[in-house]
C-alpha cells in the first residue's frame, strides 16, 4: 500500500512545481481573456492585482497544509470536517484535477492541430500525450518533480526568447493611456486574471511531501511570484505588440506575438511553431501533476495503491478531453474549471482553515 | 521464470510495433516535390462578361447571396525552371520560373481551393510573401472581410505584406523582373529596398492592417503600379477607418508629407528652392522625428506637430554657394523649411480636408493624453478631425555639408 509515499521533495522542487503547474494553458489565452475582461490597455495592472490576491489565497493554502505536515489534503479534510463532508470535498477535488488534466491535454492537441500537425487526428495526439504522461506519473512524486526541475529552465529560457522576439513589434503607445478610464475596468478584470493563476492549490497536497513543511509558505510565495512575473511579461509584450482590440480577436494571442515577431536580419521565421513545441513542455507539467493528484486522491479516498487508479483515470481523461465538440466548448470547459477553482483554491481552504483554527485541530505554528 | 521472461519479450516487441506505427507522424507528411508553393496572391474583381459566362454553369445561383465575383491569382514557383534559369542566364527561351493560376468565385477560400481540382500539387502557403488587392476590390469590399481568410489560416504568416494596385492586381504579379526571377519576390524586395526613400509609404502587413481596422483608425497602404515590364511602388491608397474601404489615392509627394508628419522618413532628399536666386539647394535627410501634441482648451481640441530633422546639404546650384558662411546655411535652412512646409501642408490638406481622415495618428495621441475627451469623439473621429486646427512646427538642422563647402 502506497497511500502515503515516503518520498520527499525539497523546497526548490516544491516552488518549481507550483510555477510549472500554474504556467500551462492559461498563458496562451491570457491576453485575450484578460483583454476582454478589462477592455483597456491596463491589463497588466489587473494581472498584477490578480496575482497579489492569489498570493493571499496561496498563504491560506500553505498555512492550512502546514497544520498537517504529514498528511495530504485528502486525509486531513476528513479530520477537519468529519467523514461524510470530507469525502464529498475530496471527490470534488479529484473531479477538478481530472477535468484539469483533460483540459490541458485537449488544449495542447488543439494548439498542435493549429500550428504543427493540421491533419493528424487529435485523438492520436491526446493518446500519445496521455501515454507519456502516465509513464511519468506512475513513477511517483520524485520523478515528477525532477522532470519539473529539468523542464523549468528550458521553458523559462524559451519563453523569454519568444517574448524577446515579440519585442520587435512592441509599441509602448499601445499600452497607453494608463488608467485612461479610471480604475474600474481594472477591478472588473481582476476576477478573470486571478482565475488565470489556478494551479497553486497543489500545495494542499505537496506540502506533505516537503522535507521541510515549514517552508511551504515561502515556496508558495516564490512559486506564485515567478508566475506573476511571467504573466506580466506576457501581457505587456502581447498588448504592446498586438493592441488590446487585436488581442481580443485572436484565438491564441500569445502565439500570435511569436508569429508576428521577427529577428531583424535573421533568416529564421515562423517562431510560433517553435513556441508551440516549447509550450508542449509547459502544458505537460501541468497535465502530469493534475493526473497524479487525481490518482493520489482516489487512492487515498479508497485507501488503496494509487497506480491502478492512475491507469484507471486514463480512459476517463481521454473521454473528457475528447468530449468538447469544438473550440468554444473547450474554452467553456476552461471557464467551468476556473469557477471550480474558486472553490478548490479559495473557499474550501479558507473554510477548512477557519474550522481547524476554531476546533484547534492540527499543529499550531511552531512544533516542527 | 523462463516463461515469464519470454512473455515479457513478446510484450516489448508488440509495444515496439505499436509505438513505431504512431511515432513517425506520417499524417502530415507531404513530399516536397508534391508541393505547390504559393508566394504571391492578387485579388481582382471578375470581369462582367467572364462572370456571366460562368454563371450559366452554376445551378444553384438563385439560392446564393448576391455577391461580386472575385478573381484570385496565385503565383506558384516552378523550382525546376528556377534552377535552369540560374544556370544558363541568357537562355531567354526557357520556361518562366513561376506560373500564375487564376480562378474565380465568390469567396477567397473557395476560389483558392478550386486550384486543388486543377492540379496534382498540394498548395502550400507558408511562403506567401505578398498580397495585392486591386483598387476596385479595395473600394468595393470591407477590407476586414477580404483579410479574414488570411488571418484565420495558421499556415499564412501574420507578416505577409499587402499593397493595393492601380488597375488590375494580377498585372503586378505578371511583370517578369530582370534580376529576381519571381514577381512576388521582386515586390517583396522593393518594399525592403525602398524603406530608404522618403516617398514610399511604410510597409503594411496583414497583421498591421488588422490592428488598424479593429481600432477603426484610417491609414495608408502602399500603391503598386504595374507598367509594361516594370513594377513600381509609388504613392498610397487611403483606407477609411469608418467604412474600412479605400477612399482615394495619395501621390508620391503627399506620401512624402505624411511620412514627415509621422516621423517615418528614413532618408531621401528635399529639393528646396532658394528664394533670392531661384536655384536649387538639395537637402539630404538623415533623420526625421515628429511629435504630435494634442491640446484641449475649453472643450476645443487642437494639435501641434513638432517635426525635427537633421541632415546635410548634398547639392546646390548657387554660385558660389559658400557653405563655410553661416548666412548661406541660414538661407538654405529657410528654403528647406519652406519646401518641407509645402509638402506637409499639401499632404495634410489632402487627407484632413479632402478625404476627411486622420492617417497620421492624431487620434491615438489624443486618446493617450486626454482619454476622457477621446471617449466622446472616438466614434466619429475622422469627422471631428477634419475640423480641428493642426499647427505644424518644422525644425531643420543642417549638420554638415560634405567634403566641399564652396564652389569657388
More confident residue, B52 or B320: B320
Question: CA of A118: which chain B residue's CA is closest?
Answer: B28
The Cα A279–Cα A25 span in angstroms is 8
Asked whether the beta carbons of B245 and B332 are under 8 A apart, the reply is no
Asked whether the beta carbons of B169 and B137 are under 8 A apart, the reply is yes
The whole-number average pLDDT for the span B313-322 is 80
Q: Among B250, B280, B311, where does a domain finish?
A: B250
Is the link from the previous residue into B320 a cis peptide, with omega within 30 of 0? yes
Gap from A288 CA to chain B (nearest CA, Å): 21
User: Per the CB < 8 Å rule, is B214 touching A246?
Assistant: yes
Question: CA of A257: which chain B residue's CA is closest?
Answer: B158
The whole-number average pLDDT for the span B249-265 is 88
Residues B151 and B278 in one domain: no
Sole residue written with cell 497544520 = A67
Domain count, chain B: 2
Question: CA of A120: which chain B residue's CA is closest?
Answer: B27
Is the link from the previous residue into B260 a cis peptide, with omega within 30 of 0? no
Per CB-CB distance under 8 Å, the chain A contacts of B372 are: 180
Q: What are phi and psi of B14, to 5 degrees?
A: -60, -45
Output the tens digit of pLDDT for each of chain A's 368 residues.
344 445 788 899 999 999 988 988 888 889 999 988 888 888 999 999 999 999 999 999 998 888 888 888 888 888 888 888 889 999 999 999 999 999 999 999 998 888 888 888 888 889 989 998 998 998 888 888 888 888 888 888 888 888 888 888 888 888 888 887 888 888 888 888 888 888 888 998 888 888 888 888 999 999 999 999 999 999 999 999 988 888 998 988 988 888 887 776 666 677 777 788 788 888 999 999 999 999 999 999 888 888 899 999 999 999 999 999 899 999 999 889 988 988 888 899 999 999 888 888 777 554 44
When mean pLDDT is compared across A261-270, A326-335, B211-220, B360-369, the lowest value belongs to A261-270
pLDDT tens profile B135-167: 989 999 999 888 899 988 888 888 889 999 988
Gap from A76 CA to chain B (nearest CA, Å): 41
Confirm whether A365 is domain-assigned.
Answer: no
Q: Among B250, B270, B295, where does a domain finish?
A: B250
> What Cα–Cα distance (Å) separates residue A43 from each residue in A189, A190, B132, B238?
8, 9, 36, 32
Per CB-CB distance under 8 Å, the chain A contacts of B126 are: 270
Burial of B49 (0-12, 13-18, 19+ CB in 10 A): exposed
Residues B246 and B266 in one domain: no
The whole-number average pLDDT for the span B100-128 is 81
Task: Indicate the residue of A114, A128, A173 with minimum beta-carbon distance to B22.
Answer: A128
Residues A106, A110, A111, A115: is their CA dihedral positive or negative? Answer: positive
CATH number at residue A283: 1.20.1740.10
Residues B235 and B264 in one domain: no
Q: Which of B348, B405, B358, B349 is nearest to B380 (CA)?
A: B358
Gap from A166 CA to chain B (nearest CA, Å): 13
Q: Is B154 on the interface with A (CB under 8 A)?
A: yes
- Could you give the maximum distance between any two Cα atoms of chain A, in Å? 67
**Domain residue limits at A281:** 11-347
Start-to-end Cα distance in chain B: 108
Confirm whether B352 is domain-assigned.
Answer: yes
Q: What is the pLDDT of residue B50?
A: 61
Task: Indicate the residue of A176, A249, A259 with minimum beta-carbon distance to B158.
Answer: A259
Residues B237 and B265 in one domain: no
Residues B318 and B225 in one domain: no
Gap from B19 CA to chain A (nearest CA, Å): 9
Q: What is the pLDDT of residue A321?
A: 93
Q: What is the pLDDT of residue B165?
A: 92
> What Cα–Cα distance (Å) separates residue A194 from each residue in A47, A58, A198, A346, B9?
7, 12, 8, 11, 51
- The continuous run of DSSP H or E covering B35 comes out as strand B35-45
- The continuous run of DSSP H or E covering B237 comes out as strand B231-239
User: Per the CB < 8 Å rule, is A180 touching B27?
Assistant: no
| ipTM rounded to 2 decimals | 0.79
Q: Over chain B, what is the mean pLDDT?
A: 82
CATH number at residue B277: 3.30.300.210
Gap from B23 CA to chain A (nearest CA, Å): 9
Confirm whether A231 is domain-assigned.
Answer: yes
If DSSP codes are grouped into helix, strand and coil, which group holds residue B69? coil
Q: What is the pLDDT of residue B61?
A: 54
The Cα A43–Cα A31 span in angstroms is 8
Confirm whether A251 is domain-assigned.
Answer: yes
User: Per the CB < 8 Å rule, is B368 touching A180?
Assistant: yes
User: Per the CB < 8 Å rule, is B207 touching A260?
Assistant: yes
Q: What is the pLDDT of residue A6?
A: 58
Alpha carbons within 13 A on the beta-carbon side of A268:
11
Q: What is the pLDDT of residue A158?
A: 86
When mean pLDDT is compared across A165-174, A270-279, B82-91, B114-123, the lowest value belongs to B82-91
**Domain residue limits at B284:** 260-400
Residues 6+ apart with CB under 8 A from A1: A303, A304, A305
Q: What is the pLDDT of residue A261?
A: 79
Residues B62 and B154 in one domain: yes
Q: Among B250, B270, B304, where does a domain finish?
A: B250
Confirm whether A58 is domain-assigned.
Answer: yes
pLDDT over 80 at B384, yes or no: yes
The Cα A114–Cα B350 span in angstroms is 44
pLDDT over 80 at B284, yes or no: yes
Residues B120 and B164 in one domain: yes
The whole-number average pLDDT for the span B288-313 is 89
Domain count, chain A: 1
User: Per the CB < 8 Å rule, is B215 touching A115?
Assistant: no
Q: Is B338 on the interface with A (CB under 8 A)?
A: no
Residues B202 and B264 in one domain: no
The whole-number average pLDDT for the span B181-194 is 80
Task: Indicate the residue of B22, B205, B215 with minimum beta-carbon distance to A243.
Answer: B215
Q: Which of A224, A258, A225 is nearest to A345 (CA)?
A: A224
Long-range CB contacts (within 8 A, 24+) of B287-296: B287/B311, B288/B259, B288/B260, B288/B263, B288/B264, B289/B263, B290/B260, B290/B261, B290/B262, B290/B263, B291/B263, B292/B360, B292/B361, B292/B362, B292/B365, B293/B365, B293/B369, B294/B362, B294/B365, B294/B366, B294/B369, B294/B370, B296/B370, B296/B373
User: Per the CB < 8 Å rule, is A118 touching B154?
Assistant: yes
pLDDT over 80 at B196, yes or no: no
| DSSP state letter for A39 | -
User: Per the CB < 8 Å rule, is B364 touching A173?
Assistant: yes
Confirm whether A361 is domain-assigned.
Answer: no
Confirm whether B395 is domain-assigned.
Answer: yes
Q: Is B127 on the interface with A (CB under 8 A)?
A: no
The whole-number average pLDDT for the span B372-386 is 87
User: Per the CB < 8 Å rule, is A121 touching B155?
Assistant: no
Residues B291 and B350 in one domain: yes
Amino acid at each position: 500500500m502506497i497511500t502515503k509515499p515516503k518520498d520527499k521533495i525539497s523546497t526548490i522542487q516544491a516552488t518549481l512545481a507550483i510555477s510549472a503547474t500554474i504556467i500551462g494553458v492559461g498563458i496562451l489565452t491570457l491576453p485575450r481573456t484578460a483583454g476582454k475582461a478589462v477592455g483597456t490597455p491596463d491589463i497588466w495592472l489587473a494581472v498584477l492585482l490578480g496575482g497579489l490576491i492569489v498570493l493571499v489565497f496561496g498563504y491560506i493554502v500553505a498555512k492550512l497544509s502546514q497544520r498537517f505536515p504529514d498528511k495530504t489534503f485528502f486525509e486531513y479534510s476528513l479530520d477537519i470536517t468529519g467523514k461524510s463532508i470530507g469525502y464529498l470535498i475530496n471527490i470534488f477535488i479529484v473531479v477538478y484535477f481530472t477535468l484539469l488534466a483533460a483540459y490541458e491535454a485537449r488544449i495542447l492537441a488543439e494548439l498542435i492541430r493549429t500550428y504543427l500537425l493540421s491533419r493528424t487526428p487529435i485523438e492520436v495526439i491526446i493518446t500519445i500525450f496521455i501515454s507519456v504522461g502516465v509513464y511519468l506519473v506512475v513513477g511517483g512524486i520524485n520523478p515528477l518533480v525532477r522532470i519539473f526541475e529539468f523542464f523549468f529552465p528550458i521553458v523559462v529560457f524559451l519563453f523569454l526568447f519568444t517574448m524577446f522576439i515579440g519585442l520587435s513589434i512592441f509599441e509602448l503607445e499601445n499600452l497607453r493611456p494608463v488608467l485612461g478610464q479610471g480604475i474600474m475596468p481594472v477591478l472588473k478584470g481582476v476576477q478573470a486574471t486571478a482565475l488565470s493563476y489556478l494551479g497553486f492549490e497543489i500545495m494542499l497536497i505537496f506540502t506533505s511531501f516537503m522535507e521541510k513543511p515549514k517552508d511551504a509558505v515561502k515556496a508558495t510565495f516564490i512559486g506564485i511570484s515567478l508566475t506573476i512575473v511571467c504573466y506580466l511579461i506576457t501581457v505587456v509584450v502581447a498588448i504592446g505588440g498586438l493592441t488590446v482590440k487585436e488581442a481580443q480577436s485572436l484565438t491564441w494571442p500569445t502565439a500570435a506575438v511569436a508569429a508576428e515577431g521577427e529577428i531583424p536580419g535573421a533568416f529564421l521565421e515562423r517562431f510560433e511553431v517553435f513556441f508551440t513545441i516549447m509550450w508542449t513542455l509547459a502544458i505537460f507539467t501541468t497535465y502530469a501533476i493534475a493526473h497524479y493528484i487525481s490518482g493520489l486522491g482516489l487512492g487515498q479516498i479508497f485507501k488503496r495503491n494509487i497506480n491502478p487508479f492512475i491507469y484507471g483515470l486514463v480512459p476517463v481523461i481521454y473521454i473528457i478531453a475528447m468530449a468538447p465538440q469544438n473550440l468554444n466548448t473547450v474554452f467553456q470547459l476552461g471557464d467551468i474549471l476556473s469557477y471550480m477553482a474558486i472553490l478548490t483554491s479559495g473557499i474550501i481552504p479558507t473554510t477548512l482553515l477557519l474550522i481547524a483554527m476554531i476546533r484547534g485541530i492540527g499543529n499550531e505554528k511552531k512544533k516542527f | 521464470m523462463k516463461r515469464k521472461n519470454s512473455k515479457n519479450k513478446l510484450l516489448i516487441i508488440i509495444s515496439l510495433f505499436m509505438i513505431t506505427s504512431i511515432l513517425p507522424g506520417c499524417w502530415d507528411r507531404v513530399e516536397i516535390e508534391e508541393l505547390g508553393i504559393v508566394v504571391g496572391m492578387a485579388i481582382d474583381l471578375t470581369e462582367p462578361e467572364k462572370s456571366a459566362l460562368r454563371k450559366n454553369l452554376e445551378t444553384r445561383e438563385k439560392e446564393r447571396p448576391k455577391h461580386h465575383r472575385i478573381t484570385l491569382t496565385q503565383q506558384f514557383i516552378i523550382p525546376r525552371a528556377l534552377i535552369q534559369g540560374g544556370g544558363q542566364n541568357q537562355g531567354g527561351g526557357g520556361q518562366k520560373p513561376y506560373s500564375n493560376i487564376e480562378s474565380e468565385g465568390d469567396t477567397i477560400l473557395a476560389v483558392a481551393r478550386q486550384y486543388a481540382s486543377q492540379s496534382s500539387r498540394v498548395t502550400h502557403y507558408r511562403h506567401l510573401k505578398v498580397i495585392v488587392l486591386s483598387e476596385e476590390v479595395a473600394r468595393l469590399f470591407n477590407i476586414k472581410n477580404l483579410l479574414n481568410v488570411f488571418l484565420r489560416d495558421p499556415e499564412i504568416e501574420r507578416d505577409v505584406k499587402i499593397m493595393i494596385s492601380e488597375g488590375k492586381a494580377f498585372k503586378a504579379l505578371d511583370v517578369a523582373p530582370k534580376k529576381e526571377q519571381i514577381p512576388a519576390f521582386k515586390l517583396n524586395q522593393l518594399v525592403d529596398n525602398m524603406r530608404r526613400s522618403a516617398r514610399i509609404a511604410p510597409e503594411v502587413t496583414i497583421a498591421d492592417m488588422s490592428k488598424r481596422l479593429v481600432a477603426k483608425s484610417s491609414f495608408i497602404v502602399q500603391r503598386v503600379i504595374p507598367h509594361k515590364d516594370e513594377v513600381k511602388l509609388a504613392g498610397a491608397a487611403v483606407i477609411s477607418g469608418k467604412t474600412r474601404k479605400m477612399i482615394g489615392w495619395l501621390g508620391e509627394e503627399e506620401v512624402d508629407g505624411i511620412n514627415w508628419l509621422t516621423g517615418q522618413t528614413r532618408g531621401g532628399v528635399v529639393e528646396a528652392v532658394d528664394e533670392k536666386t531661384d536655384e536649387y539647394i538639395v537637402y539630404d535627410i538623415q533623420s526625421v522625428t515628429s511629435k504630435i501634441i494634442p491640446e484641449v482648451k475649453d472643450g476645443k481640441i487642437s494639435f501641434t506637430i513638432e517635426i525635427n530633422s537633421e541632415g546635410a546639404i548634398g547639392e546646390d546650384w548657387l554660385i558660389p554657394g559658400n557653405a563655410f558662411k553661416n548666412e548661406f546655411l541660414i538661407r538654405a535652412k529657410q528654403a528647406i523649411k519652406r519646401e518641407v512646409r509645402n509638402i506637409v501642408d499639401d499632404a495634410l490638406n489632402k487627407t484632413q480636408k479632402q478625404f476627411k481622415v486622420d492617417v497620421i495618428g492624431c487620434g491615438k495621441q489624443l486618446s493617450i493624453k486626454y482619454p476622457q475627451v477621446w471617449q466622446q469623439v472616438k466614434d466619429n473621429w475622422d469627422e471631428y478631425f477634419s475640423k480641428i486646427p493642426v499647427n505644424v512646427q518644422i525644425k531643420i538642422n543642417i549638420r554638415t555639408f560634405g567634403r566641399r563647402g564652396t564652389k569657388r
